Amino acid sequence: MKIIISNKSEIPLYQQIKSQIKDAILKEELVEGDSLPSIRAFANDIKVSVLTIRRVYDELEQEGFITSKVGVGTFVSPGNMELLRDARRQMVEQKMQEMITAAKTLGITKEELNAMMEILYEEET
């Protein structure tokens, strides 16, 4: 798992890390049962505080994406498929909202946008 963080970003480090782990789970780059690095090892690898990684892991666990077993490690949670489906929908909805905002700004009509979406969607299959 490759995590890229930016000190120049307005997004806090823990959120950058958390979103990349969550994206890896949603895209199935990390799957049920996969082990995540220990807090200390992960913090050392990406040069952040152990408190930052602790916060990331705590929040991901609260959201149901990972589970921690004391003395064993941290793992991608067993498939809560509804949680994953909903998170995937939210990710697509966010991208669609960005697309709609850009289209409105550029004067593209809903009909034109739908036509573009149909063409692009069909090309992907």
| 8 Å CB contact between 60 and 66 | yes
Q: pLDDT tens across 14-71, in order?
A: 999 999 998 898 888 998 899 999 999 999 999 999 999 999 999 999 998 999 998 8
pLDDT of residue 80: 67
Q: Which is nearest to 52 in space by CA: 2, 102, 18, 11?
A: 18
Q: pLDDT tens across 68-119, in order?
A: 998 899 999 886 667 777 878 888 999 999 999 999 999 999 999 999 999 9
Task: Answer yes or no: pTM beyond 0.95.
Answer: no
User: 3-class SS at 125?
Assistant: coil
Q: Give CA angle at 76 (17, 21), nearest 5°.
A: 15
